Structure formats: structure tokens, C-alpha cells
A and B are shown apart, each in its own frame.
Chain A
Amino acid sequence: MEMKGVIFTFDAMLALAIVIVLFSGIVIFNLAEPTTGANQSLRYTNATDLAINEYLTGGETKDVPTSNPNTNCKEFFEFSSGIVLEARKCS
């Protein structure tokens, strides 16, 4: 059956829809960070420690954590400023 004014066929549109859904699923899978909760607790705890120390001493605490060498299989987590978490691959 020939339909005038139609660029894509129904088959092509269905195929495109499937491809879009498939790739969206893959992206969503990869976006989910499975250790977010624990890492968030770590950052929260560190920030709380610093805030309490600062409050008790009436000023800025000098000895802030400089590193947090958590090893998670092939990943190495590092605290660069005590509360900022950066992840990089192990060498």
C-alpha cells in the first residue's frame, strides 16, 4: 500500500521507537549509582564532624580529613577537601 506524504513507513517508525526505548533503558541502568546512599552518609558525617569541631573551638578546624582511601574493587574514592567526594579508577 502506498501512502503519499509519509516519509517513514510504520515499520521504520516502530523500529526507531524500539531503538530509542532500548538505548534509554541502557542509559538509565548506567545512571543509577549503587553506592550513593553510603557515600552520601560519609559526606554527611564528615561535614557534621567539621561543623561540630568548628562550633566547639569557635573557629575553623585546622585538621580536616585529606583523604578517604575506600577501595571498591576497581574504584578508589578520595576526599579532596573533606566533604567533596571524587572517584577515579585504580591504576
Chain B
Amino acid sequence: MKTQKGQFFSIDFLIAMAIAVLALGMLLHVYELNTYEQKEARIQNELTLIAMNSSNILLNTTKCEAGTSLTDKGYELHGCTDTSSWSGLTKANLMIPAEFDCYITKGGSVAIDECDIDDSATKSNIAVIERSFLEENSNISKSAYEQCLDNEVACTLYAPTELVVKIWK
């Protein structure tokens, strides 16, 4: 092609630059979306971990009381929870930071006095964890415990209950 006088950039170069700018713009857009998503995930993960930690504290620090026939044999009642002392627990006991709000229920009723108001409706990030556990607030004897394990008769020793921990900021 004859040399075009007065033209600074070639047509090829202009097209290449346009494509390069489009590609860079697309990459930046994806990067920006990804950064936003990471930030949201960080907030959500923090809430989820707080909810999970507090539910673990509730379920694992107040285990069912084992009768002497069980403790003598070295049994430890994992998975069975005594909820009689729950209501007096504080957010600090459950390791929920002061700047976070909580709503904790057991079987649909408020379980912790300090977490009794659910005003999370307008919040954009909420972590909710539902834990299914067995409740029994009296001493458990070895014979009743083993009867349930063996499933010889229908187990009526425990009350299957659901704990719901809701955390938001």
C-alpha cells in the first residue's frame, strides 16, 4: 500500500490499541468484582465463625450430667447438653464481640437473655447456624444411656432440640 503521508499511527496499530484497551478494561472489571466479593466473603466468614464458635461453646461446655454409674466407668456424654444454665450466659461467655448482635433460640424460644431481640431484618450480612442436639437436664444413668445406644426400645431419654444462633453486625 502506498505510504499515507500525514498519518502518525497505522490503522493496524490503532485497532491493536483499541483491542488492548478493551481487554484491559475487561480484566480490571473482573478484578474489581473479585475484590468486592472477597471483601463480602471476609465479613461473612467472620460472622459464620463467631456463630459456630458460640454454638460450640453452648453445646460443649454444659454437657449432660452423668450419674455415678456412668462416671465411674469413665463415660463422657458427648452430644447431650444440659440447657438449664443457658439463660444467664452473656455474650462475653459465648465469645461474641460487643460490636456484634445476636439472637439465640432453643426450640423456637429465646435461650440467652442477652441475645433476645432479632432486629436483623435490615442487615445485609447475617450468619445463621442451626445445630441439632439432644437435651436432658437431669442425671443420666448407665442403664438408660446404654438402652438408647442399643436401641432395644425406643429412646425417650433425650429431647431432640434445635439451637439457632444468628449473628450480625
Contact = CB atoms under 8 A, between A and B. Distances in A.
A42 B52 contact: yes
Contacts of A52: 78-79
A71 B124 contact: yes
B48 A65 contact: no
Interface in B49-84: 49, 52, 55, 78-80
Contact of B127 (A61, A70, A79): A70
Interface in A54-73: 55-59, 61-65, 67-73
Given A34-B37, A62-B160, A41 B30 contact: no
How many B residues touch the partner, as a band? Answer: 35 or more
Contact of A38 (B49, B79, B148): B49
A57 B30 CA distance: 51
B18 interface: no
A41 B151 CA distance: 30
Nearest to A58: B151
Interface in B126-165: 126-134, 148-151, 155, 158, 160-162
Contact of B130 (A29, A65, A71): A65
Contact of A35 (B41, B80, B131, B155): B41
Contacts of A82: 132
A72 B129 CA distance: 13
B52 A41 contact: yes
